[in-house]
Amino acid sequence: MIEISDVSREYRRGADRVRALQGVSLAVPAGRFVALMGPSGSGKSTLLNLLAGLDRPSRGRVRVAGADLGELDDDALASFRARHVGFVFQFFNLIPVLDALHNVELPLLLQSMPRSERLERARTALRVVGLEGRHSHRPSELSGGEQQRVAIARAIVSDPSLLVADEPTGDLDAHNARQTLALLRELSASLRKTIVMVTHDPRAEEYVDEVHVLDKGVLRAPSAAGAGIVAP
């Protein structure tokens, strides 16, 4: 599903050249739930952006779902993300003027699909995350945990093969954090979604299949931990 070969990413910050990633290689088979961990500034989000098609490597190759992302232009990358990637963010990032149903519908606007089908699929996604009674609620009317579940519904509604989650529990209390991790675990197990999650949350290790640790832009050996509560 994901093949990252000897990838480096450098960028400029003022006069300085920052080496965010150095010679990273990683392979994630389809259906795996993987955590990227490490201290702040270690390159976790940079790696996540590369494999989600939000950024391009300075060197090396990133292949996801059979596509070499380094060879795609901006429009093709946008199209790739729309078809293959679902996003979950730390701060949920829902559109405040839309209710839960229409927030979830958003990614489907990019597909040729009748409105009735879009709304039906959005309802289904909300049911999967346990929010079937909250369709007409706006983000401000939902708790943090519920907002994150709406965001997860938005991420899966277009049935992408890859979900990327950037600190999905970072803005949640312990209870909601566990519920979110369990939901992601469930999606990986039941829907065979490949999930790559950047997190600082040590509880995540109980739910994921494997943990990769980044330090100063270099990928350390994968931890055997994980394996998860639910066996892969």
**Binding-site ranges for other proteins (CB under 8 A):** 45, 49, 52, 54-55, 74-75, 78-83, 85-87, 89-91, 93, 95-98, 102, 106-107, 109-110, 115, 154, 166
N-to-C CA span, the chain: 16
**Nearest approach, Cβ of residue 163 and other proteins (Å):** 12
Nearer to other proteins, 28 or 77 (CB): 77
**Nearest approach, Cβ of residue 232 and other proteins (Å):** 27
**Nearest approach, Cβ of residue 107 and other proteins (Å):** 5
Name residue 85's beta-bridge partners. Answer: 162
Nearer to other proteins, 129 or 205 (CB): 129
Query: Between the CA of residue 32 and those of 134, 136, 146, 159, 203, what are the distances in Å?
Result: 30, 33, 25, 16, 17
**Nearest approach, Cβ of residue 45 and other proteins (Å):** 8
Report the candidate in 9, 1, 7 with the shortest Cα–Cα distance to residue 61: 7
CA distance 163 to 186: 13
**Nearest approach, Cβ of residue 106 and other proteins (Å):** 7
Q: Which two tokens stand for residue 191?
A: 């829907």
Nearer to other proteins, 15 or 140 (CB): 140
Nearer to other proteins, 20 or 184 (CB): 20
- Each residue of 86-122: b (16+ CB within 10 Å) or e? bbbbbebebeeeebbbbbbbbbbeeeeeeeeebbebb
Sheet with 59-64: strands ordered across: 16-28, 2-13, 59-64, 67-68
**Nearest approach, Cβ of residue 123 and other proteins (Å):** 17
Query: Between the CA of residue 216 and those of 4, 17, 39, 42, 213, what are the distances in Å?
Result: 17, 14, 8, 4, 10
**Nearest approach, Cβ of residue 148 and other proteins (Å):** 14
Nearer to other proteins, 6 or 117 (CB): 117
Nearer to other proteins, 55 or 205 (CB): 55
Nearer to other proteins, 102 or 185 (CB): 102
Q: In which element (H, E) is residue 146 found? A: helix 144-156
CA distance 102 to 190: 25
